[in-house]
Amino acid sequence: MAARPTWKGHIKISLVTVPVRVFPATSTESVLRFNQLHGECQTRLQQKRWCPSCDREIDKTEIVKGYEFERGRYVVLDEEDIAKARPESTRIINLERFADMDSIDPMYVEKPYYLAPDGDVASSAFGVIREALRGKAGIGKLALSGREYSVAIQPRENGLVMFTLRRANEVRRMSAIEELDRVPDEPNDAEVSLARQVIGNFEGEIDFGRFEDQYQAQLRSVIDAKVAGEDFVVQEEEAPTKVVDLMAALRKSLDSVSAAKKKPARASGSAAAKTARPRRKRA
């Protein structure tokens, strides 16, 4: 199924505007979802809109939007009222600042989207903007899903990727965490050196395709077993080792990595994952 845009408008740089479409860059289709059932008859529950004052169910046509400005007091807004608050960013992403993407703290990066030209006529201008942005990120604003976001746009492959950004008041200060006050400013040099050696053994290219959601996979296996009328046998998990002597634990880690490198190559990740799945037995 072709991707559907969630927003249509224009990118604006100074006096240049390019029609674009915005597409979600992530998917949650692989996440298992549950429905709420009545335990006695396993019928899916319905959520009804109930007015406790009128003591009856309310139809969708009777619902209005209200903002609680005082406890128990509301002001009602209709679509015409809400339309008055729509800023320019509901139609135009005006890129006002440009900077290196590395200068943007990852703490502020929220959700990614893909940008594509809206129509064949816009494709040429879109390509020019993409190439002009190489090595840079354009910062602007976008109104999306009832909110105005700051956004960062940068080139990616043959298109543009846009990240919505959190505002400064949405990021909590790390200094508010009291437990960090007990962390020493200057840790033991010998322990740090040994820890770096351990970390160095695991350095390499990051392949996100190898990182699987083991919880979702196990949950899927449990569901499949239940559907098949089988009992899912869970393997016992090893309790984490309590570190008493950090230096000894680091040396042990370094020795185990060295020993593993001397062993013959193991099965591939996918094959190993299959053999590691818990056994099933008939109920």
**pLDDT per residue as tens digits for the range 147-185:** 889 999 999 999 999 999 999 999 999 888 899 888 888
Percent over 90 (pLDDT), the chain: 40
Q: Could you give the C-alpha distances from 222 to 7, 43, 59, 217, 280, in angstroms and in order?
A: 39, 21, 39, 9, 9
Q: How confident is the model at residue 281 (pLDDT cuts 50, 70, 90)?
A: very low
Is the pLDDT assigned to residue 265 strictly greater than 60?
Answer: no
What residue segments make up the domains of the chain, in order of their start? 7-26+85-170, 213-283
Map tokens 């013959």 to a residue: 264
pLDDT digits (tens, 9 = 90+) for 234-263: 777 666 666 567 778 778 887 777 777 666
Extract the runs of DSSP E, i.e. beta strands, from the chain.
Answer: 7-13, 16-24, 50-51, 56-57, 65-70, 73-77, 92-94, 97-99, 109-117, 137-144, 147-156, 159-165, 230-232, 280-282
Q: What is the pLDDT of residues 101-154, one digit of tens each?
A: 889 999 999 999 999 999 888 999 999 999 999 999 999 998 887 788 999 999
DSSP label of 182: G
pLDDT digits over 9-31, tens only? 999 998 899 999 999 998 888 78
56 band by pLDDT with thresholds 50, 70 and 90: very high
Using pLDDT thresholds of 50, 70 and 90, give the confidence band for residue 61.
very high
Decide if pLDDT at 214 tops 80: no
Q: How confident is the model at residue 203 (pLDDT cuts 50, 70, 90)?
A: confident
What is the average pLDDT score of the chain? 84
**At the topology level of CATH, where does 7-26+85-170 sit?**
Ku70; Chain: A; Domain 2 (2.40.290)
Query: What is the structure's pLDDT at 151?
Result: 94
Beta partners for residue 23, in sequence order: 114
Find, among 160, 145, 26, 7, the residue nearest to 95 by Cα. Answer: 160
**Residue 242 pLDDT:** 63
Three-state DSSP at 72 gives: coil
Tell me what the mean pLDDT of segment 33-39 comes to.
90
DSSP-derived secondary structure letter, 37: B
Residue scoring higher pLDDT (109 or 82): 109
The yes-or-no verdict on residue 186 having pLDDT over 80 is yes
The whole-number pLDDT of residue 275 equals: 40
